[in-house]
């Protein structure tokens, strides 16, 4: 079939126009990154999220060909760092180390220094279970024992947390709502003080992040009754899950991943997503994460968004049940 000169001209114009539209994204994907990348960590140096950031940052730098600089912005339970990232220019040079406050804070705070929709997921790297702990001398040997004691004397049994509105506090409130137990909350100033209180017999039980509790569990100064994820932890293979222990549909974890300011170009998100997935395939990275009690498992931006939405809905239900509001 022969095309007329006018038809051919129109076809050429469409092809040229389509290439022009595609060119900016293609050029950006090829050029990015052209300078160092900032990774905002919304907690002080030395904590779980900071340690994970410092583990992946040099590996990301290798993959992307530019330094990845850690920028600690602690305060307000992670909200200050999240706001810092949310307000950043969405040019592909600022990312956020994502963690539970992104899904917990919207359920608890009357007002936040940022809007949740200002931050978009890039990739989830792994999850860290919480673990239910008791004093080995307490005579409590199972989750069923905890429920039985709580129901025998409602309100007499108590639990420690590292403060109001934290993942550890909400884990216990989820346990209460799931089992119909009445257990009194004793907030401490930090997880270290809370676990000291448990060892000293000041409180009956608590939830703790597994990496932080692992040394105490292995040293037999505290007893682990169950982990809070759906699957058992590789770090504690003989400890049942809460579901196995009889608490239906109980699934809680601290997660860590990477997020970005809303409006960050899709081409940049896609490249960072691929780089993160490659980093997780490195044996030294995955082994280091697992040695710290983490369950390594990559979720892409879409799957991470679905996970975070479900997590946020869960914590909203728990906050409403426990009547918790902050700020």
Q: Are residues 121 and 137 in the same domain?
A: no
Pairwise CA distance, residues 77 & 14, whole Å: 52
pLDDT of res. 28? 53
Report CA-CA distances (Å) from 54 to 4, 13, 70, 295, 308: 62, 50, 7, 18, 23
**Do residue 118 and residue 257 come from a single domain?**
yes
**Domain membership flag for residue 327:** no
Alpha carbon 277 to its chain centroid, in Å, reads 16
pLDDT digits (tens, 9 = 90+) for 165-223: 888 999 999 999 999 999 999 999 888 999 999 999 999 999 999 988 999 999 999 99
Tell which residue, 133, 81, 135, has the closest CA to residue 105: 81
The pLDDT, as a whole number, for residue 201 is 95
Number of domains in the chain: 2
Q: Taking the mean position of all CA atoms in its chain, how far away is CA 234? A: 18
- Residue 86 confidence (pLDDT) above 50: yes
Nearest one of 265, 221, 269 to 122, comparing CA atoms: 269
* Helix-then-strand count for the chain, H and E: 11, 10
139: DSSP letter: -
* Statement to judge: residues 88 and 135 lie in one domain: no
The enclosing domain of 219 has a CATH number of 3.40.190.10
Give pLDDT tens digits for 240-281.
999 999 999 999 998 999 999 999 999 999 999 999 999 999
CB 257 within 8 A of CB 103: no
Give the model's pLDDT for residue 10: 52
Give the count of beta carbons closer than 10 Å to the beta carbon of residue 90.
Answer: 17
267 & 220 share domain:
no
Boundary (domain end) residue, out of 227, 262, 294:
227
pLDDT at 113: 94
Same domain membership, residue 289 and residue 207: no
Q: Is 316 in the same domain as 288?
A: yes
Residues 42 and 191 in one domain: no
Give me the domain span that covers residue 134.
Answer: 129-227
CATH number at residue 109: 3.40.190.150
Measured CA distances, 253 to 130, 177, 261, 313 (Å) = 6, 17, 24, 14
What are the distances in angstroms from CA 44 to CA 50, 75, 199, 290, 294? 7, 8, 26, 22, 20
Per the model's pLDDT, the better-predicted residue between 302 and 76 turns out to be: 302
> Cα separation of 41 and 74, whole Å?
7
Average pLDDT, the chain: 90
For range 290-306, the mean pLDDT: 91
Band (pLDDT 50/70/90 cuts) for residue 154 is confident
């Amino acid at each position: 079939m022969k095309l007329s000169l006018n038809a051919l001209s129109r076809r050429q114009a469409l092809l040229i126009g389509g290439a022009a539209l595609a060119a900016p994204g293609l050029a950006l994907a090829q050029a990015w990154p052209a300078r160092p990348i900032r990774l905002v960590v919304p907690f002080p140096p030395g904590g779980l999220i900071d340690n994970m950031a410092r583990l992946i940052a040099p590996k990301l730098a290798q993959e992307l060909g530019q330094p990845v600089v850690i920028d600690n912005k602690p305060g307000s339970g992670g909200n200050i760092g999240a706001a810092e990232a949310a307000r950043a220019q969405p040019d592909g040079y600022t990312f956020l180390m994502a963690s539970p406050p992104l899904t917990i804070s919207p359920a608890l705070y009357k007002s936040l220094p940022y809007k949740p929709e200002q931050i978009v997921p890039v990739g989830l790297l792994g999850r860290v279970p919480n673990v239910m702990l008791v004093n080995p001398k307490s005579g409590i040997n199972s989750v069923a024992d905890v429920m039985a004691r709580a129901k025998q004397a409602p309100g007499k049994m108590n639990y420690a947390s590292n403060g109001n509105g934290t993942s550890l506090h909400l884990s216990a409130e989820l346990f209460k709502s799931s089992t119909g137990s009445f257990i009194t909350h004793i907030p401490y100033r930090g997880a270290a003080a809370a676990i000291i209180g448990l060892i000293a017999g000041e409180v009956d039980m608590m939830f703790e992040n597994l990496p932080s509790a692992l040394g105490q569990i292995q040293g037999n100064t505290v007893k682990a009754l169950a982990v809070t994820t759906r699957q058992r932890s590789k770090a504690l293979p003989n400890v049942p899950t809460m579901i196995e222990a009889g608490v239906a549909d109980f699934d809680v974890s601290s997660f860590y991943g990477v997020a970005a300011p809303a409006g960050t170009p899709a081409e940049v998100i896609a490249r960072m997503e691929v780089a993160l997935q490659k980093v997780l395939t490195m044996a030294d990275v995955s082994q280091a994460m697992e040695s710290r009690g983490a369950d390594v498992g990559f979720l892409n931006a879409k799957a991470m968004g679905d996970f975070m939405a479900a997590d946020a809905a869960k914590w909203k239900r728990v906050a409403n049940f426990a009547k918790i509001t902050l700020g």
